[in-house]
Structure 1
């Protein structure tokens, strides 16, 4: 993710913190200073926020390490002011596996809360509202226990992209199948999101942000699953383009610009006698033009490291790769030689046709 700082790696998973996280710490420090808190109290409040997000990282690691057992990699865990995001390559399609991956995160918070409950002395009375208003050395761990319980309850909401939505989908999928289960869970999630938004207007504006996050998360999940279902059983050969323009390594930037203007292509495959040697994008061409490199061979500015697909690969796998990659165009090979190209737009058109045929 752009504008993120790498904090380290755990089990090969990068832990990132987004720059906006600094705004949260600044807001905490500002709020405490406005209340007249001294430096020690401000630092304690910041330390509490960092402790909460350490629990969030452990929560996300619970998901990631459980997914790893099923051969699913996690590229990174990113900390944002609203929480953490584990970037799993995909969710398991097996309901049992998805259920275990979804439950693993909140289970970590249950364990943390249980450990804190064991080590902390019991409270003599029900805490007052003031107990929760300010972080002190006396209530620090008690509040951390409370936050972990709230994380479990919040993630239990049966709405995507919360864990509760994935648990609901997994349970429904045992009987209804993944597509229908996703539709039901997503619709429920969007209904709850609308409730959050309206309630947020009346009480806490932060609920509006949560509601929007849930609504669009549910919509995206539902569309993704439906699209993958349309692509199931189809190969890359069926979704690739065979009418395309290529360049050779000896073509100049001027040659490429002429082809850019003459047609609708924005990206090009660079090939030599059927062997793909690189890819070239419009932005690379414009940059070369700005640097007055019109007579430079495209071999000097093209991208030589690229991902390719075979005509026999699953179209659904290509779609998933295109969704998470920044590369706009992929070469498709047959017996090691260029047979076609594929991009997101063409797969979306394939999905649109399949959807129209079903309806």
Structure 2
């Protein structure tokens, strides 16, 4: 994710913190300063926020490591002011596996809360409102226990794509199948999201952000699952384009620019006698023009590392890869030679046609 600081890796997973997280720490420091707190109290409040987000990282690692057990990798975990996001390559399609991956995150918070409960002495009196309003050395760990309980309860809300929504989808999928289960879980998630947004206008603007995240997340997940269902059983050959313009490695940047201006292609496959040797994107081409490399060979400015598909590959796999990488297009090979190209737009058109035919 852009504008994120890399904090390192855990079990091969990058831990990133988005720059907006600094705004949260600044807001906490400013709030404490306005209360008249001294420097140690301000630092303690910031330390509490950092401790909470350490629990969030552990929560996301619970998801990621459980998914890894089923052969699904996680590229990164990103910390945002509204929480953490684990970028799994995909969610398991088997209901039992998705159920365990979804439960693993909140289970980590349950363990943290249980350990704190066992270690901390019992409170002599029932906590008052003042107990929760200010962080002190005496209530630091108690409030951390409370936050972990809240995280468990909050994530249990069946608002897809939150953990509770994924648990609901997995349970429904045992009987209804993944597609129908996703529709139900996503619709429920969007209804709850609208409720969050409505309440947020009157009580807490933070709920508006959460509602928007849930609403669009539910919509996106539902669309992806519906699309994958349309693509099931179809090969890349059926969804690829066979009418396209290529470049040769001996062409110049000027030649490529002329093809860009006179045609509809924005990205080009670079091939020599049917063998793919690279790709050239519009941004690479424009950069070469800015650097006054008009007579430079395409082979000098292209990307030589190319991921390809075979005509026999599953179209759903190509769709998933394109969604994940955001690469403009991939070459498609047959017997090692260029047979076509495939991109997201063409697959979406294939889905649109299939959808129209089934109505």
Question: Shorter-chain TM-score: which interval?
Answer: over 0.9
Give TM-score scaled by structure 2 length: 0.99
Task: Name the SS of the counterpart of 1:259 in structure 2.
Answer: helix
Equivalent positions of 1:295-306 (< 5 A) are 295-306=295-306
C-alpha displacement of 1:110: 0.2
Deviations 1:293-324 (A, max 9, x none): 11111111101112111111111111011011
Task: Name the SS of the counterpart of 1:31 in structure 2.
Answer: helix
Equivalent positions of 1:72-151 (< 5 A) are 72-151=72-151
Task: Name the SS of the counterpart of 1:136 in structure 2.
Answer: coil
Deviations 1:127-160 (A, max 9, x none): 1110000000000000000000000011111012
Give TM-score scaled by structure 1 length: 0.99
Structure 2's unaligned 5+ residue stretches are none
C-alpha displacement of 1:217: 0.7
In 1, Cα distance between equivalents of 2:226 and 2:126: 49
C-alpha displacement of 1:258: 1.0
Task: Name the SS of the counterpart of 1:345 in structure 2.
Answer: helix
C-alpha displacement of 1:231: 0.5
Structure 1's unaligned 5+ residue stretches are none
In 2, Cα distance between equivalents of 1:358 and 1:124: 66
The CA RMSD measured in Å over matched residues stands at: 0.7
In 2, Cα distance between equivalents of 1:143 and 1:307: 49
Deviations 1:79-117 (A, max 9, x none): 111100000000000000000000000000000000000
Task: Name the SS of the counterpart of 2:23 in structure 1.
Answer: helix
In 2, Cα distance between equivalents of 1:302 and 1:326: 18
Equivalent positions of 1:192-341 (< 5 A) are 192-341=192-341
Match of 2:349 in 1: 349
In 2, Cα distance between equivalents of 1:30 and 1:347: 49
In 2, Cα distance between equivalents of 1:250 and 1:23: 50
C-alpha displacement of 1:8: 1.2
2:161–2:186: 8 Å Cα contact kept in structure 1?
no
Q: Which runs of 4+ in 1 moved over 4 A?
A: none
